[in-house]
Amino acid sequence: MHKKKEELSAYEMLTARSHFLAVQGSGKKWISKSLILQIKENDLGIIRVGYTVTKRVDKSAVKRNRIKRRLRAAAVDGLMSQAKTGYDYILVGRRETLTKDYKDIVGDLKWSLKRLDLLNKKA
């Protein structure tokens, strides 16, 4: 779960609210037990990733930040090597993300990618 800075910077981060709203408005998402994956095709040909954990998940900022860290690490393990390029991905944290085993979170991410037909054939 501990990734190097170089691995985390291998993709572009979505930070602008307009990008999040564009992905959310595209209508493609898949809900698993530990996360929600929202996707939208981009014209850049690269992977861009954003993370969201709302106060509805947990009031504690410490717990929300821990969920975001787990999602970031799962994105490096699940998205970078196995997801199709040319898409924007938003990972939405859920309550189960905090307590679920890390391997299960990565498994849920891969399962969501497969359901959305975004898993690389070589992975």
* 24 has pLDDT over 80: yes
Look up the pTM and report it.
Answer: 0.86
- Whole-angstrom distance, CA of residue 108 vs CA of residue 93: 12
36-68: pLDDT as tens digits: 999 999 888 888 999 999 999 999 999 999 999
* 76 has pLDDT over 60: yes
List 51's β-bridge partners, or say none: 91
Domains along the chain with CATH numbers: 5-115 (3.30.230.10)
- Whole-angstrom distance, CA of residue 26 vs CA of residue 63: 29
Q: What is the pLDDT of residue 6?
A: 59
> Could you give the percent of the chain with pLDDT greater than 70?
89
Cβ-based burial of 108 (10 A; exposed 0-12, middle 13-18, buried ≥19): buried
* 5 has pLDDT over 70: no
Q: What is the mean pLDDT of the chain?
A: 87
Which residues are CB-neighbours of 90 under 8 A, at least 6 positions away? 14, 20, 23, 24, 37, 38, 39, 49, 50, 51, 52
Work out the average pLDDT over 81-92. Answer: 89
